[in-house]
Amino acid sequence: MKKSLVIFGVGDIAQLAHFYFNSDSEYQVVAFTVDAAYLTKTNFCGLPVIAFEKIGEHYTPDNYEVFVALSYSKLNAIRKEKYLLAKALGYRIASYISSRATVLNEGRIGENCFIFEDNTIQPFVNIGNNVTLWSGNHIGHHSIIKDHCFIASHVVISGGVEIGEQCFVGVNATLRDHIKVGEKCVIGAGALLLSNADPEGVYIGLETNRSKVPSTRLSHI
């Protein structure tokens, strides 16, 4: 029998969590929850939506687990807050790890992690709590990703990298081996990071500019 799960959130990420947990995990989603101030619908994905303030009246910690399906807003602070609140209420916190991910780190993955398909997690990697790894990332051996981080798609984290809490790493970023990224850093899409990053740093990749030649004048396309 599958475990019963309540998802915090009613946005795109919550809808994805509903799909992944129901189709590829030991869990069955039974309801959604949001803060009462944001309770604008009573049904989502065909399931009830209840106020988080009243979750214990409907779904007790003894019989239900929780997953917080939120994005990286405010450097993951909102997801962190709701994750800690659910824990404080006594709920066990689920993680989703895709069966299509390559996970070789002996399960050193924390709570409320959302690990999509085609991630490669090499041996001796440690992944903290409340970490999202979108699809297609490479997490190199002996690396550490601390709590409350969000790693977007097709990121290369080389061996021995340490990423501090509440960091965001954008699509196609590359981090060289044996560097440290301080907490609350933003590594932008396509960035190449070759040395340590101080806390609260912002590292932006170069944008591709439009050519002066229009596409209609390209002779080989």
Domain spans of the chain, in order of start: 3-93, 95-202
Q: What is the pLDDT of residues 54-96, one digit of tens each?
A: 999 999 999 999 999 999 999 999 999 999 999 999 999 999 9
Measured between its terminal Cα atoms, the distance across the chain in Å is 56
Contacts of residue 103, defined as CB under 8 A and 6 or more positions apart, other chains included, come to 97, 109, 115, 119, 121
Contacts of residue 106, defined as CB under 8 A and 6 or more positions apart, other chains included, come to 123
Q: What is the pLDDT of residues 155-189, one digit of tens each?
A: 999 999 999 999 999 999 999 999 999 999 999 99
219 — pLDDT class (breaks 50, 70, 90): confident
CATH of domain 95-202: 2.160.10.10
Q: What are phi and psi of 90, to 5 degrees?
A: 95, 10
Residue pair 110/127 in contact (Cβ under 8 Å)? The answer is yes
Rounded Cα distance, 9 and 41, in Å: 11
CATH fold for the domain made of 3-93 = Rossmann fold (3.40.50)
Rounded Cα distance, 105 and 123, in Å: 4
